[in-house]
Structure 1
Amino acid sequence: MAAANKLEVKKARLENIDELALLFDAYRVFYQKDSDLALAKSFLTERLANSESIVFIAYFENKAVAFTQLYPKYSSARAVKNWILNDLYVDENYRKLGIASQLIQQAMEFVESTNASFVQLETAVDNYNAQKLYKKMGFEIQSPDSEFLLYRKAVQQIS
């Protein structure tokens, strides 16, 4: 695991489900959902067990403090796989440390390895910190609406 004062990002596995479920529950509460740790654990277990999503967990000083979750998206006409970065959460005690950037970077490296053509995500129109981060990471707004902003980033193919 990570050394003291170090950040480590790992791809989640079922053995990480308890610490991941705590973060996922906090993420849902952030979005005004009722806390339900059993639901969080069940939902994530199903996603990971069925290979329906890819989750990365950030550890700071050996403590799980953040995660991001990717879902595959397919285009039949273009015959390509793309990814939706659906969830990104950093424990409020660990924000402003560059952890979200590291999670996105790790996610982008994974996505590039799958030969996807883009990653997309959405964020609330009033989530200015997230908007600033996504712009800094190279995401571009695709379609603004009254509630959410849709961002997309093209993927550089790995040779």
Structure 2
Amino acid sequence: MAGMDDQTAGQQEVRLRVAAETDVEVAAELFRGYLDFYEVKVEDPGAPGAFLAERIRGDESLVLLADVPGLGTVGFAQVYRTFASLLLRPMWILSDLYVAPSGRRTGAGRALLREVLRRAAEAGVAGVQLETAYDNQVAQNLYESEGFVREGYHIYFRDLG
């Protein structure tokens, strides 16, 4: 989770919407900013857009966009629906949350996060899980201020090339 706004001071009106296939280009631009923030090198500049288009078209993820009057679309969140085996219930993974530099300190990050939580509660899921970089203190402050608790598990990943 990258590029959050950690304060609501100076908060502007934020309008949220579910991304449709017609929003792929604007969502892909934000997605590229997110990938750049995490220093992910993408060889094909069209890959982020194609990835999002496939997720949206197949209803494989929920992609939310944040619009701020006068600034345009400044943020996005992407949620994957899955299951929590230990809870025997559905859960959501907030995989991506990003606000472009132009939209920071507008409340867009907090608004996106709260909308994910609202929709998750409405869907009756067990909870929302997320992860962020150890050094992304701004994002961690936002998540903790919204009731997220750091879990005591280690995350492992095996790259299969």
- Say yes or no: does 1:34 pair with 2:41: yes
Match of 1:121 in 2: 130
Give the number of aligned pairs.
143
Q: Which amino acid aligns with 1:125?
A: Y
SS of 1:17's equivalent? helix
Extract unaligned runs of 5+ from structure 1: 148-159
Q: Which amino acid aligns with 1:9?
A: L
Alpha-carbon distance between aligned partners in 1 of 2:145 and 2:15, rounded to the nearest angstrom = 21
Alpha carbons 1:22, 1:37 under 8 Å: kept: no
- Say yes or no: does 1:24 pair with 2:12: no
Q: What's the offset of the Cα at 1:40?
A: 0.7
Q: What's the offset of the Cα at 1:73?
A: 1.5
Match of 1:47 in 2: 55
TM-score of the aligned structures, taking structure 2 as reference length:
0.82
Match of 2:9 in 1: none
Alpha carbons 1:58, 1:67 under 8 Å: kept: yes
In structure 2, do the counterparts of structure 1 residues 49 and 146 end up closer, same or farther at CA, with 3 Å as the change threshold? closer
Alpha carbons 1:21, 1:37 under 8 Å: kept: no
SS of 1:142's equivalent? coil
Alpha carbons 2:14, 2:106 under 8 Å: kept: no
Aligned alpha-carbon RMSD (Å)? 2.0
Match of 1:56 in 2: 64
Match of 1:155 in 2: none
Alpha carbons 2:87, 2:126 under 8 Å: kept: no
Name the structure where strand makes up a greater proportion of residues.
1
Match of 2:98 in 1: 89
